[in-house]
Chain A
Amino acid sequence: MTVVPVTTTVRDAAGAPPAASAPPGPGSRRRRTRAPLWLLSPAGLVLAVVTLAPIGFLLFTSFTDYNQRTLFTGTYHYVGIDQYTELLADSAFWMSLVRTVLFTAAMVAGSVLIGMGVSHLLTRLGRAMRYAVTVVLIVAWAMPNVASSLVWNWLFQPGYGVVNWFLDQLRVFGDTTDLNWAQDPARAYASIWLLIVWQAVPFIALTVNAAETQVPQEYKEAARLDGATELAVYRIVTLNHIRPTLLLVTILSVIWDYNVFNQIWLISRGGPGDATSTLGVYTYKTAFVGFHIGQGAAISVVTTLLLLGLTAVYIRRLLRSGEDL
């Protein structure tokens, strides 16, 4: 591995490494150094142990019948692709995949649209109001999701929850005092959706706002002089400028929402029945409630492969938008 400090701007015509015999004098811009190797190896070794090895193990486990018995006896058998064929024939898996896709779409759409709205709102506010909204956003964002899930359970508690009381006051839905949210698929979804969106909007709003404040004023002024309405200015000028940022936060949101586990687990346990069992919950139940760990590993592999395409797009964009690598 030939290494040249990043400060090197001159390259040999052939791109050849500098001759090793060149004595590195002071100010020499071309020293062979092993520094990055030494600097990287500790983190590299640790990452190999804690990430690459488990991923290899995940693949391996998905080809075995590793289950509850194995935990005690340590015996398991190689079963080839049986776990995968079983999985693809399992309607529960397909159902949870469809659920995950629909739910992710609903959450991403909700949080990105509201986030854009709040971002735009921030640009129209005076200093004091902007500060207040920012603090509110940061506090909502900062809530650990275990805590916010428990707060949600309390807000939506039948009989004593403030949400039911509030709906009751509206006098639109009849008597809602004892409305049970976790026991009804649509209502369980609604409350989880609200929680995810509530926590996702701050990140999106503040990130988009950082881009939106960079939109050159003169473009907007020019559009206004041409008689464009505020809506048209936003659509034509602002949206064009914040498009790359929007794409990044959308991809990130898809990845995060697709992987959501804690909130669903703590609010509905994937219930009632399997109604809110998205892929993450379904995998967890398979591996750690039924202890069909081989099967769980297979689902996890499939889940990861489905995400891989999107992850690749995200990483390509991130590397391209960054400084030269």
Chain B
Amino acid sequence: MPRRRRLVNTIAVLFCLVWIFPVYWMVNTAFKPRPEVMTATPHFVPEHPTLSNFVTAVTQDQFLVNLRNSVIVVACTVAFSIVLGIFAAAALSRFRFGGRRTIMVVILAVQMLPGTALLIPMFVMFNGLDLLGTYLALVLAYVATVLPFSIWVMRGFFVAIPVEIEEAAHIDGATTWGVLTRVLFPLVAPGVIATGIFSFIAAWNDYLFAYTFMQDQSRYTLPVWLASFTNPYTGTDFGGQMAASVLFSLPVIVFFLIIQRNLVAGMSAGAVKG
């Protein structure tokens, strides 16, 4: 049915064009010199491509400071959620004990909370403890949102490991701790990488907590920096903002594409080798 195939392909091509357009427009604008950005008739390709918008973005006085804030907070969040999460995930997947179900329900329920349900009380608590505007405030907020998710995702990886491997190790006389660290952890390494990337993305993208808790330009993280990208004299510098958006989105898009492959590889690599 060549006719039908052609129709389906046409629909797919149209879909791709429409769906990728906003991303294309961001990149396209980022490479345009200023006069080409603000035109009545849009230029679909930059006629004189330039890197000047990127230079504008990264030479903003707050950029490096805010980048550093982002990196510190995100790194702490990822480290915390992986170290704490991997042990909890192991406990929830390899053992039976009372209260297990309850813990899992709590873990899942926390993820469904509206942002303000954590934002408001944390704001009140941190205000009382004088923590507003500190890295610690943000890290705690991110761990609250990311850790339950990490436990859940890593638990999935643990569950996928056949029990036979563990039994074999026990028969060989390994302790519970030995089985955990020498058998299970290496096997869930792909899961740890995937979880780490997920945690990175969640913390890297957060706008609500950073915007509310940090309250000072030098304390902002990149999403807040991105949103406050306006020039008081000329209105929003769209070229600069789009270039900044490209820089900000790039690591996340790359990570997403990596995760895709990693998840598949991780699942198929966890098999019992005969």
- Chain B residues near A10 (CB-CB < 8 A): none
Identify the closest chain A residue to B260 (Cβ): A138
Please tell me if A208 contacts chain B, counting CB pairs below 8 Å. Answer: no
A44/B97 contact (C-beta < 8 A), A58-B121, A151-B242 known:
no
Residue pair A147, B226 in contact (C-beta under 8 Å): yes
Residue pair A43, B40 in contact (C-beta under 8 Å): no
Residue pair B12, A61 in contact (C-beta under 8 Å): no
The distance from the CB of B129 to the nearest CB of chain A, in whole angstroms, is 12
Binary B-proximity of A153-184 (CB < 8 A = 1, otherwise 0): 11101011010010000000000010000000
| Stretch in B47-55, B187-195, B247-255 touching the partner | B247-255
- Chain B residues near A323 (CB-CB < 8 A): 159
Residue pair B41, A46 in contact (C-beta under 8 Å): no
The CA-CA distance from A146 to B13 in the complex, in Å, is 27
Interface residues on A, range: 35 or more
The distance from the CB of A9 to the nearest CB of chain B, in whole angstroms, is 10
Residue pair B253, A139 in contact (C-beta under 8 Å): yes
Identify the closest chain B residue to A26 (Cβ): B173
- Chain B residues near A7 (CB-CB < 8 A): 163, 166-167, 170
Number of A-B residue pairs having CB atoms within 8 Å of each other in the complex: 294
Residue pair B8, A54 in contact (C-beta under 8 Å): no
Give the one of B116, B141, B144 with max A CB within 10 A: B116
A150/B227 contact (C-beta < 8 A), A35-B95, A262-B207 known:
yes
Binary A-proximity of B118-145 (CB < 8 A = 1, otherwise 0): 1111111101100000000000110110
The distance from the CB of B130 to the nearest CB of chain A, in whole angstroms, is 11
Give the one of A54, A57, A121 with max B CB within 10 A: A54
B:161-218 near A, CB below 8 Å = 163, 166-167, 170-173, 176-177, 180, 201, 204-205, 207-208, 212
Name the one of A31, A46, A159, A165 contacting B143, with C-beta atoms under 8 angstroms: A46
Residue pair A51, B25 in contact (C-beta under 8 Å): no
The CA-CA distance from A100 to B170 in the complex, in Å, is 54
Residue pair A259, B242 in contact (C-beta under 8 Å): no
The distance from the CB of B19 to the nearest CB of chain A, in whole angstroms, is 5
- Chain B residues near A43 (CB-CB < 8 A): 84-85, 87-88, 147, 151
Please tell me if A112 contacts chain B, counting CB pairs below 8 Å. Answer: no
Residue pair A303, B116 in contact (C-beta under 8 Å): yes
Identify the closest chain B residue to A162 (Cβ): B42
- Chain B residues near A159 (CB-CB < 8 A): 40
Please tell me if B63 contacts chain A, counting CB pairs below 8 Å. Answer: no
Binary B-proximity of A3-45 (CB < 8 A = 1, otherwise 0): 1111110000000000000000011100101011101101110
Please tell me if B29 contacts chain A, counting CB pairs below 8 Å. Answer: yes
User: Which secondary structure dominates where chain B touches chain A?
Assistant: helix
Please tell me if B66 contacts chain A, counting CB pairs below 8 Å. Answer: no
- Chain B residues near A318 (CB-CB < 8 A): 108
Please tell me if B104 contacts chain A, counting CB pairs below 8 Å. Answer: yes
A61/B124 contact (C-beta < 8 A), A125-B9, A136-B19, A147-B248 known:
yes
The CA-CA distance from A144 to B222 in the complex, in Å, is 11
Residue pair A40, B103 in contact (C-beta under 8 Å): yes
Give B contacts to A, CB under 8 Å: 5, 8-9, 11-13, 15-16, 19-20, 22-23, 25-26, 29, 37-42, 80, 83-85, 87-88, 90-101, 103-110, 112-125, 127-128, 140-141, 143-144, 147-148, 151, 159, 163, 166-167, 170-173, 176-177, 180, 201, 204-205, 207-208, 212, 223, 226-227, 229, 236, 238, 241-242, 245, 248-249, 252-253, 255-257, 260
Give A contacts to B, CB under 8 Å: 1-8, 26-28, 31, 33, 35-37, 39-40, 42-44, 46-47, 49-58, 61, 66, 71, 74, 118, 121, 124-126, 129, 132-133, 135-155, 157, 159-160, 162, 165, 177, 198, 201, 255, 258-259, 261-262, 266, 279-280, 283-284, 287-288, 293, 296-297, 299-301, 303-304, 307, 311, 314-315, 318-319, 323, 325
Could you jot down 24 A-B contacts, CB within 8 Å? Answer: A7-B166, A26-B172, A36-B97, A39-B87, A46-B143, A50-B144, A50-B147, A51-B118, A54-B125, A61-B124, A126-B9, A137-B19, A139-B23, A140-B22, A140-B23, A141-B256, A144-B201, A146-B207, A147-B249, A154-B26, A283-B120, A297-B120, A303-B114, A307-B112
